[in-house]
Amino acid sequence: MKRVLHRTLAVAAALVASAALAACGASASSSGSSGSGPSTLKVWIMGSSGQNFTKLTASFTKSTGIGVDVQAIPWADVDTKLTTAVASGNGPDVMQVGLSELPTFEKSGALMDLSSYLAGHPALDSSNFLDALSTDKLNPPGKVLSIPWISDVRVLFYRTDIFQQAGIQGPPTTWAQLHADAVKLAARGSGKYGYYIPQWDAPLPIEFTWQAGGSVMDPSGKVNFDTPAFRQAVDFYASFYRDKLVPTAADFDQTAGFISGSAPMLISGPYLATSLTGIQGKWAAAPLPTDSTDTSLSAGSTLGVWHTSTKVAAALKLFDFLAQPSTQVAWYKLDGDLPSNKTALSDPSLTSDPTFQIYARQLQNSQLLPLVPTWDTIQTDMLTAVNKIVLTGANETSILNQLDQTVATLQK
Amino acid sequence: MTLTVKPPLVRSEGRPWPRTPRRRRGARATPYLFVAPAFACLLAFGIIPIAIAAVVSFTDLNVGGLGNLGAVHFVGLRNYQALFGSSDFWSALGNTALFVVMGVPVIVVVSLAIAIGLNQSQSRLFRALRTFYFLPAVTAVVAIALIWGYLYNSQFGLFNSLLQAVGLPQQQWLSDPWLAKVSVVLVAIWRATGLSIIILLAAQQDIPAEYYEAAALDGAGRWRQTVSITVPLLRFALFFVTVTTLIAWMQFFDEPYVLTQGGPLGATTSISLYIYQQGFQYNAFGFASAASVVLFVLIFAVTAVQLRARRWGR
DSSP string, B249-265: HHT--HHHHHHTTT-ST
Chain A residues touching B37 at Cβ < 8 A: 14, 17-18, 20-21
Calculate the CA dihedral of residues A209, A210, A213, A215 and round it to 10 degrees.
Answer: 80
Q: Which of A207-211, A338-342, A368-372, B79-83 has the lowest mean pLDDT?
A: A368-372
How many angstroms separate the CA atoms of B276 and B257, rounded? 10
A253-306: pLDDT as tens digits: 899 999 999 999 999 998 888 889 889 899 999 999 999 999 999 999 999 999
How many angstroms separate the CA atoms of A175 and A236, rounded? 8
How many angstroms separate the CA atoms of A38 and A311, rounded? 9
Answer yes or no: is pLDDT of B246 > 70. Answer: yes
Chain A residues touching B156 at Cβ < 8 A: 256
B66 touches chain A (CB under 8 A): yes
Chain A residues touching B40 at Cβ < 8 A: 18, 21
Q: How many residues does chain B have?
A: 314
Radius of gyration (Cα) for chain A, nearest Å?
Answer: 25
* DSSP reduced 3-state for A39: coil
Confidence of residue B17 (pLDDT cuts 50, 70, 90): low
Q: How far from B267 is each of A388, B41, B91, B180, B295, CA to CA, in Å?
A: 11, 35, 8, 7, 19
Chain A residues touching B266 at Cβ < 8 A: 384
Instruction: Judge: B264–A199 Cβ closer than 8 Å, yes or no.
Output: yes
Contact call for residues A368 and A299 (beta carbons, < 8 A): yes
Chain A residues touching B20 at Cβ < 8 A: none
> Residue B95's pLDDT is what?
95
Name which of A89, A257, A376 is nearest B282 (Cβ-Cβ): A376
Answer yes or no: is pLDDT of B1 > 60. Answer: no
Contact call for residues B296 and B213 (beta carbons, < 8 A): no
**Number of Cα atoms under 13 Å in the Cβ half of residue A237:** 31
Give the gap in angstroms from C-alpha A323 to the nearest C-alpha of chain B. 29
Chain A residues touching B283 at Cβ < 8 A: 79, 83, 104
Give the gap in angstroms from C-alpha B269 to the nearest C-alpha of chain A. 13
Name which of B27, B64, B174 is nearest A250 (Cβ-Cβ): B174
Quick one: which H or E segment has residue A348?
A: helix A348-351
A119 touches chain B (CB under 8 A): no
Chain A's closest residue to B264, CA to CA, is: A250
Mean pLDDT score of chain A: 86
Contact call for residues A267 and A277 (beta carbons, < 8 A): no
How many angstroms separate the CA atoms of A91 and A88, rounded? 8
B20-41: pLDDT as tens digits: 555 566 678 888 999 999 999 9
- Look at strands A283-286 and A155-159 and give their pairing: antiparallel
Which residue in A215, A194, A219 sits closest to A205, CA to CA?
Answer: A215
Name which of B30, B37, B66 is nearest A86 (Cβ-Cβ): B66
Contact call for residues A286 and A171 (beta carbons, < 8 A): yes
Give the gap in angstroms from C-alpha B192 to the nearest C-alpha of chain A. 25
Answer yes or no: is pLDDT of B13 > 70. Answer: no
Name which of B64, B156, B177 is nearest A108 (Cβ-Cβ): B64
> Residue B87's pLDDT is what?
87
B16 touches chain A (CB under 8 A): no
> Residue A313's pLDDT is what?
92
Confidence of residue A105 (pLDDT cuts 50, 70, 90): confident
Confidence of residue A191 (pLDDT cuts 50, 70, 90): confident
Q: Which candidate in A190, A251, A308 is best for mutational testing of the B interface (most B CBs within 10 A)?
A: A251
> Residue B22's pLDDT is what?
56
How many angstroms separate the CA atoms of A66 and A318, rounded? 8
Q: How many residues does chain A have?
A: 412
Q: Cβ–Cβ contacts within 10 Å for residue A290, how many?
A: 17
Calculate the CA dihedral of residues A98, A103, A107, A112 and round it to 10 degrees.
Answer: 50
Confidence of residue A151 (pLDDT cuts 50, 70, 90): very high
A351-363: pLDDT as tens digits: 999 999 999 999 9
Chain A residues touching B175 at Cβ < 8 A: 248-251
Which one-letter DSSP state was computed for residue A227? S
Instruction: Give the DSSP per-residue string, chain B.
Output: -------S-S--TTSPPPPPPP--HHHHHHHHHHHHHHHHHHIIIIIHHHHHHHHHTTB---HHHHH-GGG--B-TTHHHHHHHT-HHHHHHHHHHHHHHHHHHHHHHHHHHHHHHHHTT--SHHHHHHHHHHHHHHHS-HHHHHHHHHHHH-TTT-HHHHHHHHTTPPP--TTTSHHHHHHHHHHHHHHHHHHHHHHHHHHHHHTS-HHHHHHHHHTT--HHHHIIIIIHHHTHHHHHHHHHHHHHHHHT--HHHHHHTTT-STTTT--HHHHHHIIIIIS--HHHHHHHHHHHHHHHHHHHHHHHHHHHHH-
Chain B residues touching A83 at Cβ < 8 A: 63, 66, 280, 283
Confidence of residue B19 (pLDDT cuts 50, 70, 90): low
Say what the ipTM of the complex is: 0.74
Quick one: which H or E segment has residue A46?
A: strand A40-46
Segment A222-239 mean pLDDT? 94
Segment A112-133 mean pLDDT? 89
Instruction: Judge: B175–A250 Cβ closer than 8 Å, yes or no.
Output: yes
How many angstroms separate the CA atoms of A233 and A292, rounded? 12
A19 touches chain B (CB under 8 A): no
Chain B's closest residue to A9, CA to CA, is: B30
Q: Residues near A341 by Cβ (< 8 Å), separated by ≥ 6? A: A128, A129, A130, A323, A324, A325, A328
B77 touches chain A (CB under 8 A): no
How many angstroms separate the CA atoms of A303 and A105, rounded? 11
Q: Is B54 exposed, middle or buried (0-12, 13-18, 19+ CB in 10 A)?
A: middle
Instruction: Judge: A83–B155 Cβ closer than 8 Å, yes or no.
Output: no
> Residue B220's pLDDT is what?
87
Name which of B44, B172, B177 is nearest A249 (Cβ-Cβ): B172
How many angstroms separate the CA atoms of A317 and A120, rounded? 10
Instruction: Judge: A10–B34 Cβ closer than 8 Å, yes or no.
Output: yes
Sign of the dihedral defined by the CA atoms of residues A49, A50, A51, A55, in that order = positive
Chain A residues touching B160 at Cβ < 8 A: none
How many angstroms separate the CA atoms of B291 and B285, rounded? 10
> Residue A264's pLDDT is what?
94
